[in-house]
């Protein structure tokens, strides 16, 4: 009979996830302990005749963890495979060893299920303030029990992973790039560029190597004849490559394009693995609208979720926080309102660091920018009175900018309350959207097409057609519209994504890939160190 281990079952998935590094070892210990202390048993994978067919299937599935961007070694696959070989050749196994083998395989599968469902690292540990995916309806022990009993283990593991087209596309891209790891095309370096860059029509000694890489990456049709110069389809291939790597597709191979061409498939595999991990942090999406900003991509996208499908909505360029000084935080929240022709309440940090020094040098800047002071009672002080700057420095008054052409927020603001006081808004400097790299803000996110975003957000509000939205933006009088239903907003950070069937890579502008990569490596090291003694006892004990 298949019985869940009560001690392990009593541990909520969310808590097991927070334990992180020691979870695999702890699960082994708890499962084995429960089998002896309570009289119940873990799943039966081994008998006196050796491993069951389900055990062999389970180990095979764990061995393929890399297909999900996971580390097979985190689940003790090597030791489990050895146990299959050793147990399969034995005529008789002791009850003690059978219990240990059952416990070890159950714990490995349990950890794998939890990793697929929630991810391996809690984003809060990395300073990313996402709402934790609920584990109240996710019982890995019950899932494993029913999966083995009904002979659908592979299906159960597959369903534990995020069920989205993006996740499936990333898995396929990961498999494609894994096939390129160690390929001879990256074993020899590309020849240096003539005069530091290569423009169409120039002679280049590396056209053959360049064409080979582009063909393997899918940017150049296979069997394309290599031209004697850098021209024709080879230029088109570079334009495709540039577009997929967040660069202007001008066909000129400059320093940035050349450096991206040098990046090996091993590095891209890691980026794809990190993107899969981040998708596992996302809770199941509720039906309705959702807005997602991908910071390294400098893009905002809206989605409509319903009937088991995710339909694309508006997509637009954004400007995010400066990478050196004022990075945009990563979090999720609920959009609750839109402010047309908003006031800009200057944040204290900007007041102290920028506005006050500027006003002390140039008091006329106050009127030119449409500033006004507001006291603690909410009374507005027009003009800059004597002693006003000292009062502002002491915090006795605050400064805000009136609606108008010079307003830093532009003519619209999208409000989703959060602890970092971040919001979407338009800008009085729209020319910055033409830049390829767009990290110019103090942390808030400027949107290129605010009327289009407002129309998407207000899609269920019949009294707000596009014409009225534009009128409200131009009116110059502040007005707040509260949404009848809140809309989830997610500030994400993915340096790899699949767009329209093609994999794209973006620069790690905030160094977040490095942080996540280091956390995952440390977790794996800790798991293996903690689990080794338990594995040695459980899998290699003598009869």
Q: Is 542 helix (H, G, I), strand (E, B) or coil?
A: coil
- Which CATH number describes the domain made up of 183-263? 1.10.101.10
- Whether the CB-CB separation of 138 and 94 falls below 8 Å is answered with no
**Exactly one of 245, 425, 426, 504 is catalytic; which is it?**
425
Residue 444: active-site member: yes
- Whether the CB-CB separation of 510 and 268 falls below 8 Å is answered with no
Among 361, 359, 362, residue whose Cα is nearest residue 373: 359
Q: Tell me the pairing of strands 439-441 and 309-321.
A: parallel
- Helices 53-63 and 153-160 pack at an angle, to 10 degrees, of 30
pLDDT per residue, tens digit, the chain (543 aa), is 333 333 333 334 443 444 333 344 444 444 443 333 333 346 888 877 788 899 999 999 999 999 999 999 999 999 999 888 887 665 667 788 888 888 999 999 999 999 999 999 999 999 999 987 665 678 898 999 999 989 999 999 999 999 889 999 999 999 999 999 999 999 999 999 988 899 999 999 999 999 999 999 999 998 899 988 999 999 999 999 999 999 999 999 999 999 999 999 999 999 999 999 999 998 877 789 999 999 999 999 999 998 878 899 999 999 999 999 999 999 999 999 999 999 989 888 899 989 999 999 999 999 998 899 999 888 999 889 889 999 999 999 999 988 887 888 889 999 999 999 999 999 888 899 999 999 999 999 999 999 999 999 998 788 999 999 999 998 888 899 999 999 999 999 999 999 999 999 999 999 999 999 999 999 999 888 776 544 544 555 433
pTM of the model: 0.86
Residue 517 to residue 270: CA distance in whole angstroms: 8
Residue 534 to residue 28: CA distance in whole angstroms: 7
CATH 2.40.440.10 corresponds to the domain 285-343+405-510? yes
Residue 25: active-site member: no
**Exactly one of 25, 245, 426, 444 is catalytic; which is it?**
444
Q: Which residue ranges make up each domain of the chain? A: 6-162+523-540, 183-263, 285-343+405-510, 348-402
């Amino acid at each position: 009979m298949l019985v869940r281990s009560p001690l392990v079952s009593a541990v909520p998935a969310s808590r097991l996830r927070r334990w992180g590094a020691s979870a695999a070892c702890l699960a082994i210990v708890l499962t084995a302990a429960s089998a002896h202390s309570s009289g119940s048993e873990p799943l039966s994978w081994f008998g006196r005749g050796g491993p069951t067919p389900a055990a062999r299937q389970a180990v095979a599935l764990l061995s393929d963890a890399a297909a999900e961007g996971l580390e097979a070694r985190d689940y003790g696959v090597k030791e489990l495979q050895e146990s299959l070989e050793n147990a399969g050749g034995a005529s008789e196994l002791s009850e003690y060893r059978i219990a240990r083998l059952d416990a070890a395989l159950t714990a490995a599968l349990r950890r794998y299920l939890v990793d697929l469902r929630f991810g391996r690292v809690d984003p809060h540990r990395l300073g990313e303030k996402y709402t934790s995916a609920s584990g109240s309806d996710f019982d890995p022990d019950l899932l494993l029990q029913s999966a083995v009993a009904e002979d659908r283990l592979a299906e159960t593991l597959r369903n534990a992973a995020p069920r989205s087209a993006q996740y499936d596309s990333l898995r396929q891209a990961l498999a494609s790039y894994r096939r390129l790891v160690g390929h001879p095309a990256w074993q020899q370096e590309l020849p240096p560029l003539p005069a530091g860059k290569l423009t169409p029509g120039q002679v280049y000694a590396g056209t053959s190597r360049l064409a080979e890489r582009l063909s393997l990456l899918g940017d150049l049709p296979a069997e394309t004849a290599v031209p004697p110069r850098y021209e024709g389809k080879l230029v088109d291939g570079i334009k495709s490559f540039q577009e997929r790597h967040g660069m202007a597709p001008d066909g000129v191979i400059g320093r940035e394009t050349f450096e991206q061409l040098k990046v090996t498939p091993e590095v891209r595999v890691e980026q794809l693995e990190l993107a899969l991990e981040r998708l596992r942090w996302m809770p199941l999406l509720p039906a309705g609208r959702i807005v997602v900003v991908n910071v390294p991509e400098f893009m905002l996208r809206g989605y409509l979720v319903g009937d088991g499908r995710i339909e694309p909505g508006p997509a637009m360029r954004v400007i995010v926080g400066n990478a050196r000084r004022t990075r945009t935080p990563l979090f999720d929240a609920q959009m609750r309102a839109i402010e047309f022709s908003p006031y800009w309440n200057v944040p204290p940090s900007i007041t102290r660091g920028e506005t006050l020094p500027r006003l002390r040098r140039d008091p006329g800047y106050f009127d030119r920018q449409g500033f006004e002071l507001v006291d603690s009672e909410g009374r507005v002080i027009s003009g800059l009175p004597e002693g006003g700057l000292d009062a502002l420095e002491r915090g006795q008054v605050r400064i805000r900018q009136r609606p108008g052409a010079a307003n830093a927020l532009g003519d619209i603001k999208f409000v989703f309350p959060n602890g970092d006081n971040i919001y979407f808004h338009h800008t009085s400097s729209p020319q910055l959207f033409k830049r390829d790299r767009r990290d110019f803000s103090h942390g808030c996110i400027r949107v290129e097409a605010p009327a289009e975003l407002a129309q998407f957000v207000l899609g269920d509000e019949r009294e707000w057609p596009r014409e009225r939205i534009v009128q409200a933006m131009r009116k110059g009088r502040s007005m707040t519209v509260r949404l009848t239903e809140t809309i989830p907003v997610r500030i994400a950070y993915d340096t790899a994504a699949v767009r329209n069937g093609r994999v794209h890579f973006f620069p790690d502008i905030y160094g977040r890939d490095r942080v996540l990569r280091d956390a995952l490596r440390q977790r794996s090291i800790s798991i293996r160190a903690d689990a080794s003694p338990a594995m040695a006892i459980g899998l290699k004990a003598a009869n």
